[in-house]
Structure formats: structure tokens, C-alpha cells
Structure 1
């Protein structure tokens, strides 16, 4: 039987794997398809700038804002995907979390005042947004399943 700390570490590690894949795909495809690739980086920078403005904090330059956004994106998506957890049902949780994040990435930016364009510009943009977040959920689930199998074989 696994300890709570090893399960927690497995969930965090799996979530980080999903978040890293999500960001690698995002950054790669936006270079290859600038016309219709989702630009979650722009949404992140807009959100960061809004928060800093409301806090009367200084605005970072473009490169710093990009770096902070990327770091925040990996951290927040890693924590989100860590909800995949361990044990039975990781694949269903990965699918559900990925689809929820993808649909949220298409639907929520407008109502949050971040603009619709970066994730909602074209049908291809919407499809890629949902697909990439789903991929992140599946990678988190696959990593957790692999981790469970690897630790079971060690015992």
C-alpha cells in the first residue's frame, strides 16, 4: 500500500508532466501556425497585467511578463492536472479535467475581460485549445498510471 506522501508526489509529478506537455505543444505550434494557434500566453500576460494594475504594482517589460506568465502557467496547470491523482479512474479524471480546461479556455476569457481572440479566433483555434488541454490531461493520467505500475513492480 502506498503512503500518502508518495501518492501526493505521484499526483504532483503527473500534473507537472501534463502541464509541461501542454506548454511545449502550445509554444511549438504557435511558432508554426501563428494565424490560428491559440495564444494562451497572451491571455496569461493580460491577466498578469490586470492583477498588477489592480495592486498598483509596476508593470513588467514584455520579456519578464512572458517569463512570469509561462512559469505561472506551468505551476497552475501542474496543480490542476495533479487532480488526476492516483489509482483507479486516472484516465477518466484526465479526460474530464482536460476537456473542462479546454472548454474553459475557449469560453471564459471573454467574460473575464481578457478578450476572445487568443483562444476563440477561429474554429481551428477553438479545436486546438480543447485538444491541447485534453492532451495535458491524458499525459497526466498516463504518467500517473505508469508511476503506479512502476512502483507496484518494485514492491
Structure 2
């Protein structure tokens, strides 16, 4: 398996973990980040700018947001790559994504509450994305070639 496919596998693993954690914790904790809400708002906003009508069915829009999250996060986390250096790249990418999840929604016009409701909400958002980066790194490290050691 070449390095690009290995990195993509790591990215997909990280993205799936982030999405699974988001979807699980939001059902259990009222202060959990609602990145799904930000995703739905993003899709609606982009579709309106393109003179398209976003899905009116909230379940369909939610599904689109989750798929978009997995695809975009997979590509993002794949930058962790493979080998020993995947660990620091995954950690940096995860921390940066977490910081972006907390700092960017307001300035982007998506609202602040979904990722900034409380200090716990902010910490969880950063933690989720850091976890995703570390999972991507772990898979990239596990799939490394012997010469990457």
C-alpha cells in the first residue's frame, strides 16, 4: 500500500472517530459541541450563495453535514501521514482543528453557541479534534513501512 493510501486510511479513521464521538456525546451531554449544527448551517449558507435550495428535511441536511464532515476531516487528517512523525503532525492538526472549531464559527457567520456554549463545550470540541488527529497518527504509524522507523 503506498504512503498516500496509508495516510488517507489514517485520515478516514480519525474522521470517523471524531464524528462518532460528536454524535454519541451530543446525545448524552447538553453542553456537548454541536458541530453537526455548524455543518448544517454551512451547507445551507453555501447553497444559498450558489442560488440553490438546501434540503428542507432536517434529517437529510443532518446526513449531508455528517458526510461532509467525514469527507473533509478525512482529507484534513490524512496530512498526518505515516511513520514516526505522524504523531506530532496528527497532534498539531488535531489541536489546530479544535482551535478552529472554537474560534472560527462566529466570524464565519455560523453562530458561536454550537462550539462555544460553555467552557466545557469548548474543551470538548478541542479534545474531539485532537483525538481525531491522534487516531489518524496512530493508523499512519501502524501502517508505516519498515524504512520509516
Normalising by the smaller structure, the TM-score range is over 0.9
Instruction: Indicate which of 40, 45, 54 corresponds to 1:50.
Output: 45
Which is further off, 132-141 or 85-94? Answer: 85-94
Residues 110-138 of structure 1, C-alpha deviations (whole Å, 9 max, x = no match): 00000000000100000000000000000
Aligned equivalent of 1:95: 91
Aligned equivalent of 1:9: 5
1:87 positional shift: 2.1
Structure 2: distance between partners of 1:87 and 1:25: 26
Instruction: Indicate which of 142, 146, 149 corresponds to 1:146.
Output: 142
Instruction: Count matched residues.
Output: 146
Residues 42-67 of structure 1, C-alpha deviations (whole Å, 9 max, x = no match): 00000000011111112202111111
- Which runs of structure 1 show a deviation greater than 4 angstroms over 4 or more consecutive aligned residues? none
Structure 2: distance between partners of 1:88 and 1:137: 14
1:88 positional shift: 3.2
Structure 2: distance between partners of 1:59 and 1:14: 31
TM-score, normalisation: structure 1: 0.91
Instruction: Indicate which of 23, 34, 38 corresponds to 2:33.
Output: 38
Aligned equivalent of 1:68: 64
State which structure, 1 or 2, has the greater radius of gyration over its C-alpha atoms: 1
TM-score, normalisation: structure 2: 0.95
Flag structure 1 segments of 5+ consecutive residues without an equivalent. none
1:69 positional shift: 0.6
